[in-house]
């Protein structure tokens, strides 16, 4: 299957600072990537769809000015959590699809805001 690499795997930041998470497709070109958030013992929640060369599409209730998504190339999408607060602490996961629709996930980034 496709390989998706996410970095960093964990990060601790101070409240009010910004954190950037990178998601790379290593062996294929992904025009579309997806960003999820998962709180402990809860299901995956789709935050936004990242589109190469155009604006991301955000799910209802997700603040686009807080969660900045950039998809500048066919192999890289980034999610920046701006002015992070403790309630933003979560597990953030990116994914890309193959042509049959199967989602392949990055390793995930555990964000802790203190």
- Contact between 93 and other proteins by CB under 8 A: the answer reads yes
Among 11, 44, 62, 76, binds other proteins (CB under 8 A): 44
Among positions 94-113, residues that touch other proteins (CB under 8 A) are 97, 99-108, 110
Closest CA relative to residue 87, chosen from 68, 67, 69, 107: 67
Q: Is 34 exposed, middle or buried (0-12, 13-18, 19+ CB in 10 A)?
A: buried
Q: Contact at 8 Å (CB) between 24 and 5?
A: yes
Least Å from the CB of residue 2 to other proteins: 9
Q: Contact at 8 Å (CB) between 62 and 81?
A: no
Among 7, 11, 49, 74, binds other proteins (CB under 8 A): 49
Q: What is the contact mask toward other proteins in residues 73 to 92, using x (rule: CB under 8 A)?
A: ------------------x-
- Contact between 35 and other proteins by CB under 8 A: the answer reads no
C-beta neighbour count of 95 within 10 angstroms: 22
Least Å from the CB of residue 34 to other proteins: 6
d(CA 7, CA 57): 22
- Tell me the two tokens of residue 42: 């809860």
Contacting residues toward other proteins, per CB under 8 A: 1, 6, 31-32, 34, 42-44, 46, 49, 91, 93, 97, 99-108, 110
């Amino acid at each position: 299957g496709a390989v998706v690499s996410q970095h960093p795997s964990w990060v601790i930041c101070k409240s009010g600072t910004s954190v950037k998470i990178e998601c790379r497709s290593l062996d294929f070109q992904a025009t579309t990537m997806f960003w999820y958030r998962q709180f402990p013992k809860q299901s995956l929640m789709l935050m936004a769809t990242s589109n190469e060369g155009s604006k991301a599409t955000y799910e209802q209730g997700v603040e686009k000015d807080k969660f900045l998504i950039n998809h500048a190339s066919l192999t890289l999408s980034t999610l920046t959590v701006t002015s992070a607060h403790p309630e933003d602490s979560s597990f953030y996961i990116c994914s890309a699809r193959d042509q049959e629709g199967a989602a392949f996930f990055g390793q995930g980034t555990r964000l802790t805001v203190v």
